[in-house]
Each structure stands twice: as C-alpha cells, then as structure tokens.
Amino acid sequence: MSAKKSALGRGLGALIPEVEKNETEGIKEVDINDIFPNEEQPRKNIDNEKIEQLAQSIKEHGIIQPIIVKKDGDFYKIIAGERRWRAARLAGLKKVPIIEKEISEKEAMEISLIENIQREDLNPIEEALAYKKLIDEFGLTQEELANRLGKSRPAITNSLRLLSLDKRVIDMILNQDITEGHGKIIAGIDDKDKQYEIAIKVVNEGLNVRQTEKLIQSINVIKDKKEKSNTKDIYIKDIEERLKNIFGTKVSINKGRKRVKLR
C-alpha cells in the first residue's frame, strides 16, 4: 500500500499499523539530535510525569515501536512518536529507531493528527482542535470525520462545542478545575462572560455535571421568559401607537391592570 495515499482515506489505521505489525523493513537508527518535533501536532501540553515513566520503560526495554519521520533537509521531522522521542532523550539514548516516510507536508500533518487522536491521551481541548483542523484542512463534514475515526457524529459535535467557550473557561478545563462534561454543558450559553461566571460557580460550589445542567436550564428558562416579555412589550407599544393615531392623544396601556389610559 502506498504511503502517499491519504491517511484519512485509508481509515483509522493511517500509517501506524505498518509499524505495530513489527515490520523491520525500512527501520533504521539515527542520531537522536537529528530529529525534531512537528510544530503542527495537536498535543501542546506535555505531561512530564508520563514522559518520565516512559523514559524509565525505555531504559529497561528500549524503544519497541519506531518513530515515524519525514526527511527535512539533513534532519528528520517527527510525524508520529514525539513522546517516545522526548522520553528517549530523557533516558539518555544517543540513537533511536525510525521509519522514514516520503509524504507531503499535508499528509504528514494528517497522519500526525490521526495518530494523536488514536492514542487517546490528548486533553479535551487538544482533541477538539485536532478535529477542527482535520475538518478545515481536508474539507470534511463532521459525519465524514466521524466515519473515518470510528466515532459517532454527536461525539465529534460535542467535542467541537468546547471551542466556543470563553478562553478563561477553556483554561479551567486545561487546568482540570472543571471537567470536559462541565465544558460541554456550559457551551450551551452564548454569552462568554456568563460562561465564565457559571464556571466559577461550578468550582466554588463543587457542582457536578448534572447540577450544572440544571443551573443552565434554569438560566435559559428565565431568559425565555424575558424574551417573551420583551416581545409582548413591542406588541403593546404597537397597539399604543395605533390608538394614539385614532384618538389623537398619547395612549398608555397598563399590562398588569389591563387598563387603557388616554392622556
């Protein structure tokens, strides 16, 4: 199978299964300093504790799965395996096994995004950003992306909703002050300041997701009543204006007492 075929077009596996089948063809060792990370990869927050654990495992067992790279001048850009590369450096390895792929920059980005999503160790915001990038860069619908990743469309949709949150709320998810579930519920509020206000309330009062959902439902009920009231006010003002034209004097309608007053 050609490495230049679209990773998304080939489904979940992308190029990763070729490595996981323990194929030795094409694997070679290179100086670890000749490899550099891909800036386009979705994982922005590196869990140093997990890197240290992986480094310890590499010290004991070595790197079981080679790093997938793309040649870039005299160096190699990581397509998949940045955590292994970081852990190998921490473990003091001088050389690491790689598999070099001759693919375009766009295909490299595609594979990197899918590999990271498959690993399921992205935080919720990084995962949502990865979905958005795949949709934007490859012109996919949410349904198409869901099919290619083996996920449900609602799962993709709900993940993307997190990106509509106020940045302060997003930071609270990243800092694990509130959960992804809280974020998805809070995203139902359009007002950014109100989102942040609710998130603070969640933290201060220790609200769970269900309690947060009830809170937002009550806010929406109040909002609906206010909007209906405003609509009614417009209707009454229209009647007042019509009566004013008929009687030639200012007209005031009192909603509470159902009384029309001519002035």
**Could you tell me the CATH number of the domain that includes residue 62?**
3.90.1530.30
In the DSSP assignment, the letter for residue 18 is H
Give me the domain span that covers residue 61: 26-39+47-102
Residue whose tokens read 């395996």: 81
* Confidence band for 260, pLDDT divided at 50, 70 and 90: very low
User: What pLDDT, in 10s, does the model give residues 151-188?
Assistant: 899 999 999 999 999 999 999 999 999 999 999 999 98
Q: Please check whether residue 90 is in contact with residue 51, taking contact to mean a CB–CB distance below 8 angstroms.
A: yes
Mean pLDDT, the chain, rounded, equals 80
Q: Residue 42's pLDDT is what?
A: 59
Q: Please check whether residue 163 is in contact with residue 132, taking contact to mean a CB–CB distance below 8 angstroms.
A: yes
Whether residue 83 lies inside any domain: the answer is: yes
Q: Please check whether residue 119 is in contact with residue 28, taking contact to mean a CB–CB distance below 8 angstroms.
A: no
The CA angle 94-97-101, to the nearest 5 degrees, is 130
Give residue 95's Cα distance to chain centre: 34
Q: How many domains does the chain have?
A: 1
Whether residue 200 lies inside any domain: the answer is: no
- Strand, helix or coil for residue 259: strand
Whether residue 250 lies inside any domain: the answer is: no
In the chain the first and final C-alpha atoms are separated, in Å, by 86
Q: Residue 236's pLDDT is what?
A: 67
Q: Residue 211's pLDDT is what?
A: 94
The C-alpha atoms of residue 239 and residue 166 are separated, in whole angstroms, by 41
Which residue among 20, 60, 82, 241 is the active-site one? 82
* Confidence band for 75, pLDDT divided at 50, 70 and 90: very high
Whether residue 58 lies inside any domain: the answer is: yes
Whether residue 253 lies inside any domain: the answer is: no
Q: Residue 1's pLDDT is what?
A: 39
User: Is 60 labeled as catalytic in the residue annotation?
Assistant: no
